[in-house]
Amino acid sequence: MFNRKRCNNTTRRIKIGDNVVARPYQDWFLNKCKKLIGANFTYLGVLNYNDKKTFYQSADIFLLPSYFVGLPNALLEAKASGVVLIVTSVGSISEVVFNGENGFVVPLKNHKSILERIKILDNDSYLLRMQKNKHINLC
């Protein structure tokens, strides 16, 4: 999840949730994120319903760069909250996210495309706002 601090436009990267499959790599992943992103990275872990709802409503971008997945609840929750989606087209995701209409689909295993899409949205607040509005209207 990506969330802009409204006071100074500093982008914060925040990871929430837990993945049983990835759990053995979680410490490595979190340490790598902290090293690369620094103070702008926060790991919140698993959130209860009310905290998760509040968090989604304050977020701008939901990133799900999965290699394989069915149709994750987290994606549906983010979509229902009006967060701009950046996803890979695996499992049933392409039945929910339509590139350029209610989110963005990036190629599988292509971190450069993910970074490019994030930078575009991060640098263009009008595009980000328009995508959030489109997203809400298509839910």
Q: What is the pLDDT of residues 78-116, one digit of tens each?
A: 888 888 889 998 889 999 998 988 889 999 888 888 888
Length of the chain: 139
At residue 87's C-alpha, the angle toward residues 21 and 95, to 5°, is 100
Q: Is 118's pLDDT higher than 80?
A: yes
* Segment 25-46 mean pLDDT: 79
Residue ranges covered by each domain of the chain: 2-138
Residue carrying structure tokens 């979680």:
26
**pLDDT (mean) for 51-60:** 84
pLDDT beyond 80 at 16 = no
Calculate mean pLDDT across residues 41-46: 79
Best mean pLDDT range from 9-23, 27-41, 106-120: 106-120
- Name the CATH superfamily housing domain 2-138: Glycogen Phosphorylase B; (3.40.50.2000)
User: Residue 62 forms beta bridges with which residues?
Assistant: 85
pLDDT grade, residue 70 (50/70/90)?
confident
- Given a contact cutoff of 8 angstroms between Cβ atoms, the answer to whether 65 and 106 are in contact is yes
